[in-house]
Structure 1
Amino acid sequence: MRLLVLGGTQFLSRAVASEAVRRGHDVVCANRGQSGTVPSGVSAVRWDRDDPAPDQLTDGDPYDAVVDVARTPSHVRRALAALPDAHWVFVSTISVYADDADPAGPGQGRLRDAIAEDRDPMASVEDYGGMKVACEQLVLATDPKAAVVRPGLIVGPGDPSGRFAYWARRSASTGEVLAPGDPRDLVQVIDVRDLAAWVVTLAEDRAGGTYDAVGPAQPIADLLGEALPDADLVWVDQAFLEAEGVEPWSGPDSIPLWLPRPAYDGMLAHDATPALAAGLQPRPVGATTRETRAWLDADPAARITGITTEQEADLLARWRAR
């Protein structure tokens, strides 16, 4: 297969390119060349997607498939216009869903209004999700047999968000670790390598359909128990964390994976069954945790977001004294 990966230098798109090369495919990555290097064995084409596609991209043998992770509608339009005959695998997001309390998936979950013009995707989840809706529509209008995958929280080695790294850093803990919220709250993650492998398979098979690209939902107590097998988890409820000014999800004052309930009951509880039936094979959370910890140990510059261990200890002391 001749595969074009739009990107290829960071996290998921890089993992896709690497997996495709490992399987023996002819892989080309098109990017600006400013965010890192492509994997060994990959051909690189320079393309700033604010500009028309370069001749180097469209000359030569046609591509069998294209993998695109774009979030800007104009970028998707240009790529589709340049490569209308390839099979498309578009990586979207569960942020296309308008109701974070509802876990309903493709065909059932209500989508955000499409935003067809380019906006700053970091400005708000509404802008990010709405542009992704528009990108999905553009892809499916050009290639009705395209595959659209909507990941939730992607984790694993190389994660630039630092969210799961928060827990991987604590994975060898033997003392008390603050566990946020209700132990029954559902959460789900997907390892970047498992998602990349499935994306390559969808491209190989020229498979179509729209899927929530998520691992099985499980109580956060089970996930943290597997990720931190020797820790003494101390469950601290939502009301206390909110009163102490702890932020959810990500950021320096946050506890990652924790989301306020019931407002976010559905965000990390989507149905993984259709994706699993279509070939997604998630590895155990414990394996992802160990391998993420190894990456953190090998790369001191790796990002970790969330409260510090000193802040955590202070919170636990306040929790006991309440």
Structure 2
Amino acid sequence: MDLLVLGGTQWLGRTLAAEGVARGHRVTCLARGEAGAVADGAELVRADRSKPDAYDAVAGRTWDAVIDVTRQPGYARRAAQALGDASRHWTFISSCNVYARHDEPGADESAALLPPLEDDDSTPETYGEAKSAIELAYRDALADRFLAIRPGLIAGPGDTSGRSGYWVARMARAVRDGGPVLVPDVLDAAAEAVHVDDLVRFTLDSAERGLVGALNAVGDRVTFGAWLDASRAVAGYEGEVVAVDTAWLAEQGVAEWSGPDSLPLWIADPEWNAFMDRSNAAAKREGLGLRPLEQLLAETLEWEREQGLDRERGAGLSPAKERELLAALTA
């Protein structure tokens, strides 16, 4: 199969390209090539997708499958115009952020979407609207050759956001340094993540089969408490965990979800209480396979150790901030 990956030099795109090569496909990655090298065995075509001539280097070539991971509507609109007629099948890695509501547990792909972003360029604040716009652009251009795959939190080795690996890495540090470990008191809240390799396999399986439509490629729902328990078990931590009222955490400047001084997988806004509680039934019927949570966390912890448990993270509390908060609780 001739496979074109629009991107291919960052985490998800590179993993897609590597799996495509491993399956024996002829893989081409169209990217600027500034984020890193493409997977071994893949061809890199250097191009800046913000430029009008971005696709000139592949003009005249045809593709059995194209996979795009962009968040910029302008990139997608130009790609559909330049390459749509040259592709047998097209997959876009969208996001569950496209949905207009996140307070309906178990909602499936029929849920309403956000209005599409009209601008060509997105910002972090318009991420969901941008992904919705990209889906619309490809759906209009490709009709019955288009599949939108909508993951939620993507987890596993390579997650430089720091979200999916924070808790298992924190438990591992506690084994080494001692506890307690501070957690938000949302133990019954939903948690849901898909391992990057499971997402990639499903994406390529779907492209090879020519699946169309939209599918939520999300992990099975567990509770935040179960995620913590699995993290403790994988890391071998048997010490104290201190569950803290989330209103107090917010007062102390602790952020939810991601970023500096945050606690990942915690979402305080009740309008987002089901962001990690979407149905994956349709995707599983189409073959989405999910490894057990303990395996996901064990593989993530191995990568976390390689990166360094004490490195500055993209998400989570610094040791100093956590000590400060624990001290304030007992003051």
Take 1:41 and 1:100, find their aligned partners in 2: how far apart are those partners?
40
TM (norm. structure 2) is: 0.90
Select the residue among 101, 104, 108 that pairs with 2:103: 101
Take 1:285 and 1:76, find their aligned partners in 2: how far apart are those partners?
34
Select the residue among 113, 116, 140 that pairs with 2:115: 113
Q: What residue is the counterpart of 1:134 in the other structure?
A: 133
Take 2:275 and 2:328, find their aligned partners in 1: how far apart are those partners?
29
Q: What residue is the counterpart of 1:57 in the other structure?
A: 58
> Which stretch has the larger CA shift, 66-75 or 300-309?
300-309
Take 2:314 and 2:77, find their aligned partners in 1: how far apart are those partners?
35
Matches within 5 A, 1:15-94: 15-51=15-51, 52-60=53-61, 62-85=62-85, 86=87, 87-94=89-96
Please state how far the C-alpha of 1:304 moved relative to its aligned partner. Answer: 4.1
Asked whether the 8 Å contact 1:94–1:151 carries over to 2, the reply is yes
Matches within 5 A, 1:1-322: 1-51=1-51, 52-60=53-61, 62-85=62-85, 86=87, 87-103=89-105, 104-108=107-111, 110-122=112-124, 124=125, 127-145=126-144, 146-172=146-172, 173-174=174-175, 175-229=179-233, 230-231=237-238, 232-300=240-308, 303-321=313-331
Please state how far the C-alpha of 1:102 moved relative to its aligned partner. Answer: 2.8
> Which stretch has the larger CA shift, 46-55 or 241-250?
46-55
Cα distance, 1:57–1:178 mapped onto 2, change above 3 Å: same
Residue-by-residue CA offset, 1:207-251 (whole Å, 9 max, x unaligned): 112112210111111111112212433221212212222110111
Take 1:293 and 1:46, find their aligned partners in 2: how far apart are those partners?
34
Structure with more of its chain in helix, by fraction: 2
Q: Which runs of 5+ in 2 are unaligned?
A: none
Residue-by-residue CA offset, 1:100-123 (whole Å, 9 max, x unaligned): 323423212x3211112223322x
Take 1:115 and 1:79, find their aligned partners in 2: how far apart are those partners?
17
Q: Kindly provide the amino acid, as one letter, of the partner of residue 136 in structure 2.
A: Q
Take 2:137 and 2:285, find their aligned partners in 1: how far apart are those partners?
26
Please state how far the C-alpha of 1:95 moved relative to its aligned partner. Answer: 1.1
Residue-by-residue CA offset, 1:7-27 (whole Å, 9 max, x unaligned): 001111111111111111111
> Which stretch has the larger CA shift, 136-145 or 301-310?
301-310
- Superposed CA RMSD in Å reads 1.8
Q: Kindly provide the amino acid, as one letter, of the partner of residue 219 in structure 2.
A: G
Residue-by-residue CA offset, 1:175-233 (whole Å, 9 max, x unaligned): 42222132111111111111111111111111112112210111111111112212433
Please state how far the C-alpha of 1:261 moved relative to its aligned partner. Answer: 4.7
Take 1:114 and 1:241, find their aligned partners in 2: how far apart are those partners?
34
Take 1:269 and 1:111, find their aligned partners in 2: how far apart are those partners?
16
Q: Kindly provide the amino acid, as one letter, of the partner of residue 153 in structure 1.
A: L
Q: Which runs of 5+ in 1 are unaligned?
A: none
Please state how far the C-alpha of 1:319 moved relative to its aligned partner. Answer: 3.1
TM (norm. structure 1) is: 0.92
Asked whether the 8 Å contact 1:9–1:37 carries over to 2, the reply is yes
Cα distance, 1:261–1:116 mapped onto 2, change above 3 Å: closer
How many residue pairs end up in the alignment? 316
Asked whether the 8 Å contact 1:18–1:39 carries over to 2, the reply is yes
